[in-house]
Amino acid sequence: MAKGKTVTIRVPEETFSEIKDVCSDLGDAYNFNQFVNQSLGAILEVIKHDGEDVPIPRFAMMARLMKNYEEGNFTSKLPREGNQ
């Protein structure tokens, strides 16, 4: 595991509830800490970006895809039972 620092952040209750709701919508893929860590990384990525078009943070796009996930949009590389 990467070396890290522990920080305490204070957010409004409404923001906390909203983030928890989003994380629960995404299932096991995200927890609150992962969401905050990736959000901070995304902010730095946008700040450091040199160019005219500000990029949409990758993790936000992935989270959005996961939220709108429909199994039919993806194919499995593993053989299904009976299809071997």
Residue 3 lies in a domain: no
Spatial distance between the Cα atoms of 27 and 67, rounded to a whole number of angstroms: 9
pTM of the model: 0.56
Query: Is 82 inside a domain boundary?
Result: no
Number of domains in the chain: 1
For residue 6, is it left (φ>0), alpha (ψ between -120 and 50) or beta?
beta
Whether residue 62 is predicted with pLDDT greater than 80 in this model: the reply is no
Question: Rounded distance, CA 12 to CA 8, Å?
Answer: 13
Q: Which domain holds residue 30?
A: 15-69
In this structure, is residue 2 part of a structural domain?
no
Question: Look-up: residue for tokens 């053989």?
Answer: 79
Q: Does 4 fall in a domain? A: no
Percent of the chain predicted with pLDDT > 70: 74
The better pLDDT of the pair 9, 60 is held by: 9
Q: What was the pLDDT predicted at 83?
A: 55
**Cα-based angle 17, 62, 66 (whole degrees, multiple of 5):** 70
